[in-house]
Amino acid sequence: MSDIRNVPATGADSGRRSRRPWAAAAVAGALVALLSGASAVTANSAGGGPAADGRSPAVRACDVPQPGEAACLAEVLPGSAPGSRTQAPAGYGPADLRSAYGLTAAVRAGAGKGRTVAIVDAFDAPTVEADLAVYRSTYGLPPCTTDNGCFRKVNQRGDTAPLPQPDAGWGVEISLDVQAVSALCPSCDILLVESDNANWDNLADGVDTAVRLGATTVSNSYGGPESDVTDNRSHGTGPDPVRAASYNHPGVPIVAAAGDAGFQLDALYPATLSTVTAVGGTTLKKSDTARGWSETAWATNYKGGAAGAGCSAHVAKPAWQHDRDCPNRTLTDISAVADPVTGLAVYDSIRDPNGPPAGWMKVGGTSASAPLVAAMYALAGHTEDVRDASRLYAHRDRLNDISGGSVSVPHSGQECPASSYLCTALRGYDGPTGLGTPDGLGAFAPVR
């Protein structure tokens, strides 16, 4: 069983040297030139030491991935896991999340019934169904079990056995994903597809299997540098990353986390694909506004990590994106809460002496925001014509525009000026939060 290493949450997609060919390097060089000439944002480094207030940064739930593997993007706030089954932490629960995103009435009306949210992750979480039962009973949600047909767990081939070997770190990721979906769509069925490991081919097989088994939408809370799946391809040639077709299923929205390492020249795959809805992250707080909540980009001056943002070196600009400074596909499209400091309450009972105590914990990362958005697609329904994120752009007025917060990582060699929308949440579209956060389900409606 893998240990949950106490690695500062600079993001699994950081600290990697790009191996892109000359065309990709040219895109990166153009971006560097574009973003240079203005002073870098002055903010605390995203990880690598205690935060300014003395508290520890969030820690990555999973091991550092091996070459050819994806990283899970769940981040646990140290000290947030009391190891208790009976007392939930201060993390946000279902009522909070529904209130924040204007979904209370839709959930009360039973939206999502008969639809299936698929979660694709690596390795096995042997306690996931029991942990989901604790979560749902704690918050008064109806049971979601194998016996009643609400919950189903399969391997990447779609079989209930054999399942992959267990992994404690990915177990936290899996618990976060299924519980986030439960929070926003308690009437939805949940299909968990566990890939044999975090190898890119196996995860892609898992996505194909999820669609084959009837998923309404598919959530992917993992990623890796785009160069890792472009330069070292073994499945053909051409500019597209390998296995891109597995993330292209018209009629089934494919959602992916945009990363936890701030702005990256080597943007995060599979979120870079134009057939995928790329989900960024925010810091969510209660406020005395009419909405009752306020949000900023999950930024580098918080306790470790930052919402992912970037510009693809390989994927062409889709027709529905019109930002000016990235010549190709820009991350992100939409966002939701991801800051571990304002994270979700998650119950996970896998015992690991090297990780957080089993029990309730507060978890974030764009691993949280991705399944939340996937659940919203299922709540809204009418996904038959969804091929990409374009309907969100057609309904941008139905989203909360988010301003404030930079995801430029100091001393990284790829800093951005505060004036750049690619790494700072500004009015209108920006990299860290995309078009904004959901305000009800209007942004997910079909385009008439």
The residue behind tokens 């969100």 is 392
Strands in 96-175 per DSSP E: 116-122, 151-155
Q: Are 271 and 325 in contact (CB under 8 A)?
A: no
Question: How much is the pTM?
Answer: 0.87
The pLDDT of 216-226, averaged and rounded, is 97
Cα 83 to Cα 300: distance, rounded to the nearest angstrom: 28
Q: What is the average pLDDT across 295-305?
A: 78
CATH match of 22-440 with 3.40.50.200: yes
State how far Cα 340 lies from the chain centre.
12
Give CA angle at 375 (222, 360), nearest 5°. 70
Say how far apart CA 341 and CA 379 lie, in whole Å: 27
Give per-residue pLDDT as tens, 156-191.
999 999 999 999 999 999 999 999 999 999 999 999
Q: Which helix (H) or strand (E) holds 97?
A: helix 94-100
Tell me the DSSP string of 277-310: EEEEEEEEEE-SSSSSEEEEE--TTSSS-EEEEE
Each domain of the chain, given as residue ranges in start order, spans 22-440
In this structure, is the dihedral angle defined by the CA atoms of residues 46, 47, 53 and 58, taken in order, positive or negative?
Answer: positive
438 sits in which H/E element: strand 437-438
* pLDDT on residue 56: 45
Name the β-bridge partners of 434: 430
When pLDDT is cut at 50, 70 and 90, the band that residue 59 belongs to is confident
pLDDT tens digits along 80-114: 655 566 666 779 999 999 999 999 999 999 999 99
The 10s digit of each residue's pLDDT in 303-346 is 568 999 999 999 999 999 999 999 999 999 999 999 999 999 99
Tell me: pLDDT of 445 over 50.
Answer: yes
- Token readout for 169 is 């770190």
pLDDT of residue 231: 60
| The pLDDT of residue 25 | 44
Q: Which residue in this structure is represented by tokens 């990299």?
A: 431
Residue found by looking up tokens 């936890």 in the block: 260
